[in-house]
Amino acid sequence: MTAIDKYTRLEALGQWSESPDLPPREVVVSFENTTLVLSDMNENPLCHWAMAATSRLTLDGAKAVYTPDTEGFETLEINDAEMVEAIAQVSRAAITIKSRTPWLRWVFMAFLITGITAIFYAAPSLLRDQAVRMTGPESARKLGTDMVATLDADMCRGLKADAARELFQSRAFPDGGTSLVFVRNQRPARAFPGGVVVIGNAALQSMQSPDELAEFSIALSAQSEATMMQLFDASSPRELFDYITSGKLSEERLAQAARSISTGFEIGDIGNYTPPDQPLLRDQDWRTLQNICLE
């Protein structure tokens, strides 16, 4: 039991002077936690004094005079030995509690700062993971297409060649996970998010068969997820937050990531490729596709 608990039911009469100009008034003095409660004779509270701020002005035997302010304008005279001792005990307890408060505050602040720091360092990773989770195949394909569009690439198109490309893709990649883009620029072949694979004209011309193109494209397409992670890794927390809420990244961010991918990725192992039972393209269609950049 603490000193405060011990005296919670203790009461005594006292003479309370609200100011030197007013006559003393008889009051009932009691305890409430770390507060001294002054009530009138009908038990109506008149005021509360914080025990930690209450000081004793005089002590004469069992009679003591207290004040809650430094000037001593407001006073309380008590002529009760038990109450005087109780106030002394509770005042020390209240002061002890008060003295501990700054330590508790510092501990709380330390935990708060630690928590904020942890959130600061964890936020980019959490945002990146959320961006990856919310990016489905169609969204990834859109990112890859938009990134390629930011490059200074002369894309090869042609009515018959485009038809041959679509036919090739439907047979070589029946799951629709790879989309081929052919360019005239002498750029290394690269993969972008969503299975978007960019192949230069020189690389296409050097291939001997549709199977070789399919094998080469599948090896590149396998790097699409890594390029998407590269895009999100390069994005700031603000950019990731905007992407999560709007589904869009700025053109500047897409362009920077596209340039980085164009110069930073190497083609991985081709792996095992099993040609289909039927030819991917007829010879005529294959020649048309190979010449897509010559039209």
In tens digits, the chain (295 residues) has pLDDT values of 454 556 667 788 999 998 888 889 999 988 776 788 899 988 888 888 887 778 888 888 878 888 888 777 888 998 988 888 888 777 654 444 444 445 556 666 777 666 655 555 557 788 888 888 999 999 999 999 999 999 888 899 999 999 999 999 999 999 899 999 999 876 678 999 999 999 999 999 999 999 999 999 999 998 999 999 999 999 988 898 889 889 899 999 999 999 988 876 555 555 567 778 788 999 999 999 999 988 6
Measure the N-to-C terminal CA separation of the chain; round to a whole number of Å.
96
One CATH from 3.40.50.150, 2.30.29.30, 2.60.40.10, 1.20.1370.20 for 1-134: 2.30.29.30
Tell me which residue of 38, 131, 46, 41 sits closest to 76, measured CA to CA: 38
pLDDT of 105 reads 65
Tell me if 222 sits within 8 A of 268, measured CB to CB: yes
Boundaries of every domain in the chain: 1-134, 136-294
Contacts of residue 253, defined as CB under 8 A and 6 or more positions apart, other chains included, come to 231, 234, 235, 239
In this prediction, residue 270 carries a pLDDT of 53
Q: Treating both helix axes as pointing N-terminal to C-terminal, what angle do 224-233 and 251-264 enclose, rounded to 10 degrees?
A: 130
Q: What is the pLDDT of residue 49?
A: 85
What pLDDT, on the 0 to 100 scale, is given for residue 98?
A: 47
Alpha helices in the chain (DSSP H): 3-6, 81-134, 137-149, 159-172, 201-206, 210-221, 224-233, 237-246, 251-264, 283-290
Q: Where are the alpha helices (DSSP H) in 173-264?
A: 201-206, 210-221, 224-233, 237-246, 251-264
Number of C-beta neighbours around residue 178 at 10 A? 21
On the CB side of 7, CA atoms within 13 Å amount to 26
- How much is the pLDDT for 11? 86
Q: What is the pLDDT of residue 100?
A: 46
Residue 197 · residue 181 · CB < 8 Å = yes
Tell me how far apart the alpha carbons of residues 4 and 34 are, in angstroms, rounded to a whole number: 7
Token pair for residue 63?
Answer: 């009679």
